[in-house]
Amino acid sequence: SWTEKWLAFDNSYFTTIPDDKSDEELLKLSSDKIVFKDDKFRPFAEKYQKSQDDFFSDYAASHKALSELGSKFDDEVTGI
């Protein structure tokens, strides 16, 4: 897993990935580490690393926006 408390919903992903002292057995792929190196995503990764409240707030807003978009399925996919 990426974090020690893998069933908890919190910002520990953002605190664990850059931590060189964290458990060696935790999964840290290059695609995870890049969030702290990419110029466009780094500000978000650092923000969520510092503030779980900001992570929760931004997550809630994004989840709400995606939920309100709804889902559309082709008849072939649903079998209707």
> What pLDDT, in 10s, does the model give residues 15-50?
999 888 888 888 898 999 999 999 999 999 999 999
| Contact (CB, 8 A) for 18 and 26 | no
| DSSP label of 36 | G
Distance of alpha carbon 72 from its chain centroid, rounded? 25
pTM for this model (two decimals): 0.77
Q: Give the CA dihedral 56, 62, 66, 67, nearest 10 degrees.
A: 40
Q: Token digits for 78?
A: 């649903």
